Structure 1
Amino acid sequence: MPVSVATTTVDPSPEGGASRPVPGADALRPHAEEAFAAELAALAAQDDRPRPPRWKLSPWAVATYLLGGTLPDGTEISPKYVGPRRIVEVAVSTLATDRALLLLGVPGTAKTWMSEHLAAAVSGDSTLLVQGTAGTPEEAVRYGWNYARLLAHGPSRDALVPSPVMRAMADGATARVEELTRMPADVQDALITILSEKTLPIPELGQEVQAVRGFNLIATANDRDRGVNDLSSALRRRFNTVVLPLPETTEAEVEIVSRRVDQIGRSLDLPAAPGGIDEIRRVVTVFRELRDGLTSDGRTKVKSPSGTLSTAEAISVVTNGLALAAHFGDGVLRPGDVAAGVLGAVVRDPAADRVVWQEYLETVVRERDGWTDFYRACREVSA
């Protein structure tokens, strides 16, 4: 299990010995179940609807936790996902069945964010995580061995090191697999028996681990990775796939960016930037127009760069601008604070993307009313 190690707060030892760190007390990014513990507790206290086995909340309460709302006692639940309600309902209802959930979408559509919050609301633990990479071994999905014990005593349950998936099966919890299509095909296929038979064989011991009720799995995949390690048809059939779209409107994307920047800023002790919403709207507008290949008024076609220009990248650009304004400016988020970040996000290919950016800057940004300062700032960093 991942362990929070960024801790500075300590509890004095009752025996007067060395102080003990408090897990997660000063974590840079607390897990969802820690950061939103008060909201989860409030939902659990007022949730009188049927709960699937070992779920901490009912499906209705899980959806409310993700989408936000006001509880009968007036408690405000902040939205974790801004998007179509039906997408969240389908994802939650899938986890209440024996089908695994695959969250699919382009980079920056909150796949990881949603999987973490789903696991936190359903199981109270979002840390049963397998990170998919080209080097992920099969042991990360099945189990490994403590080789010192294995050599000393031979194969035994004491020598076995369970994977996060194996632990979730035994505990009736929700496991997470990030970037499933980045994993080699043979590692992916280790999930087939787990998802179809709900069993993990341990042939070395002549035993097996059977999943208890409540177990399920959430996987995420980037549809830009098609052709890297495509899912086999056998594995794909084990999942219900939910496609997470990009925000439909500029206003929706501005809201998402504003909320996340505010959360990240508070966690980093960055001061709120007055007037920051104007710069957020400009960044989002630029990203959407370059992404769509069309200006927001539908009048001018523009070329698209090679990068994705996702909502997540907009959040990163604005957060960095907020840090610049706080530490090297007057605390007010201005065009000069975000211009360099926009340039870095757009120009990934120094040759092709720079031409796209310069053309967009001169034909669209330069002519837009109220954007003179933004144009000048971008021109300065692009020179």
Structure 2
Amino acid sequence: MPESTSALTSAGSGTEQALRPHAESAFAAELAALAATDDRPRPSRWNLSPWAVATYLLGGTLPDGTVITPKYVGPRRIVEVAVTTLATDRALLLLGVPGTAKTWVSEHLAAAVSGDSTLLVQGTAGTPEEAIRYGWNYAQLLTHGPSRAALVPSPVMRAMAEGRIARVEELTRIPADVQDTLITILSEKTLPIPELGTETQAVRGFNLIATANDRDRGVNDLSSALRRRFNTVVLPLPASAEDEVDIVSRRVGQIGTSLDLPAVPHGTDEIRRVVTVFRELRGGITEDGRTKVKSPSGTLSTAEAISVITNGLALAAHFGDGVLRAGDVAAGILGAVVRDPAADRLVWQEYLETVVREREGWKDFYRACREVSA
């Protein structure tokens, strides 16, 4: 085997080499510890009980002392409703503005329930019907005609046959006629294959998680027939600044570890500043409630805050002394806030001059932001 091919094979053979391991691999030890101590009833083909799935997402300490890290910081009831939905014959729709951890929650739910989060359809404007139903191996099709051997199952079809959780990301970005392919699957729990005069029936354990938001441009509203097949759970923005700082710190720490970036604790002050700026601008008022501010056109989500801090850590690691400072996050904040060069720039400049400039202990942050905004 050539050296280059060997290197590629080796690099892809272990999760420690993966840039972003799947949830079931990254948190395999926690899932195994939960399974070992979980003595509650489990729905058919579930790896864990609903209680253990909720504990996996929300975090906790097991009787043997094993610490389960939180994957989602938010109201417990939201997670409980999402988990119990998957134990019924209703599909789950996670709805929320961009950056509310819909994809993250979807992945971890699938990992905890099925041990496999990879049965995924990524929704885009170009997603074809075959991505949800099935396709064909055209070499086999031309040689032998329609047959099971020539059929290429979609992730949804595989989940139906294996009794697992399928995921459809950004459902509202998929064209409406393709979305409606799911109606028969979700209502009849069957996928007809008319070319073969047969069908694939879902076995117990199958369900589907979809994510969607209605804030982005280019969305396709769900038909009422399809929406009725889902139980909708709305994921809110973090309730408090402390919750959001915690979420950003945890995710940046996980991402930074895989990228060999500096530890998050060295940048706690800057994380808090970024979160404060984002919350004030999207809320239209300062945290003390005294000053109203204009909001820019962007969402300024928690996910964007994570991106700003991660990029700042990379700057600090490769072009600084490894300590996250105001100058490392200033450019990222400017890029997140100023989406419309005309209107958003005025909003940002006004915020800098009326809020940031006057805030005690923020002089370095003000100077850094002014420098990149000039």
Short-chain TM bin: over 0.9
Q: CA deviation at 1:10?
A: 5.7
Query: Contact between 1:107 and 1:222, CA under 8 Å: does it hold in 2?
Result: yes
Cα separation, partners in 2 of 1:9 and 1:44, compared to 1, 3 Å: farther
Alpha-carbon distance in 2 for matches of 1:225, 1:355: 22
Query: Contact between 2:356 and 2:366, CA under 8 Å: does it hold in 1?
Result: yes
1:34 to 20, 25, 50: 25
Q: Which residue of 1 aligns with 2:52?
A: 61
Q: Which residue of 2 aligns with 1:17?
A: none
Q: Which residue of 1 aligns with 2:326?
A: 335
1:91 to 82, 86, 90: 82
Report which stretch shifted further, 306-315 or 328-337: 328-337
Alpha-carbon distance in 2 for matches of 1:372, 1:7: 53
SS of the residue 1:175 aligns to = strand
Q: CA deviation at 1:24?
A: 3.6
SS of the residue 1:161 aligns to = strand
**Counterparts of residues 205-284 of structure 1 (less than 5 Å):** 205-225=196-216, 228-272=219-263, 274-284=265-275
Q: Which residue of 1 aligns with 2:105?
A: 114
TM-score, with normalisation over the residues of structure 1?
Answer: 0.94
Q: CA deviation at 1:275?
A: 3.6
TM-score, with normalisation over the residues of structure 2?
Answer: 0.97
**Counterparts of residues 1-383 of structure 1 (less than 5 Å):** 8=7, 22-225=13-216, 228-272=219-263, 274-383=265-374
Query: Contact between 1:43 and 1:57, CA under 8 Å: does it hold in 2?
Result: yes
Alpha-carbon distance in 2 for matches of 1:214, 1:221: 23
Which of the two has greater helix per residue? 2
Q: Which residue of 2 aligns with 1:3?
A: none
Q: Which amino acid in structure 1 is aligned with residue 25 of structure 2?
A: E
SS of the residue 1:278 aligns to = helix
SS of the residue 1:240 aligns to = strand
Q: Which amino acid in structure 1 is aligned with residue 168 of structure 2?
A: V
SS of the residue 1:144 aligns to = strand
CA RMSD of aligned residues (A): 1.5
- Runs of 4+ in structure 1 displaced over 3 angstroms? 6-11
Alpha-carbon distance in 2 for matches of 1:41, 1:123: 13
SS of the residue 1:251 aligns to = helix
Alpha-carbon distance in 1 for matches of 2:7, 2:74: 37
SS of the residue 2:92 aligns to = strand
Q: Deviations over 1:81-100 (max 9, x none)?
A: 00000000000000000000
Cα separation, partners in 2 of 1:319 and 1:226, compared to 1, 3 Å: closer
Query: Contact between 1:181 and 1:225, CA under 8 Å: does it hold in 2?
Result: no
Alpha-carbon distance in 2 for matches of 1:250, 1:339: 20
Q: CA deviation at 1:225?
A: 4.0
Query: Contact between 1:273 and 1:331, CA under 8 Å: does it hold in 2?
Result: no
Alpha-carbon distance in 2 for matches of 1:192, 1:7: 45
Query: Contact between 1:317 and 1:342, CA under 8 Å: does it hold in 2?
Result: yes
SS of the residue 2:215 aligns to = helix
Alpha-carbon distance in 2 for matches of 1:107, 1:8: 38
Q: CA deviation at 1:331?
A: 1.3
SS of the residue 2:236 aligns to = coil
Alpha-carbon distance in 1 for matches of 2:114, 2:6: 24
Q: CA deviation at 1:148?
A: 0.8
Alpha-carbon distance in 1 for matches of 2:361, 2:44: 56
Q: Which 5+ residue runs of structure 1 have no aligned equivalent?
A: 1-5, 12-19
Alpha-carbon distance in 1 for matches of 2:299, 2:130: 33
Q: CA deviation at 1:223?
A: 2.2
Alpha-carbon distance in 2 for matches of 1:79, 1:185: 35
SS of the residue 2:64 aligns to = coil
Cα separation, partners in 2 of 1:25 and 1:181, compared to 1, 3 Å: same
SS of the residue 1:108 aligns to = coil
Q: CA deviation at 1:22?
A: 1.6
Q: CA deviation at 1:21?
A: 5.3
Q: CA deviation at 1:228?
A: 2.6
Q: Which amino acid in structure 2 is aligned with residue 118 of structure 1?
A: L
Alpha-carbon distance in 2 for matches of 1:58, 1:315: 31
Cα separation, partners in 2 of 1:86 and 1:321, compared to 1, 3 Å: same
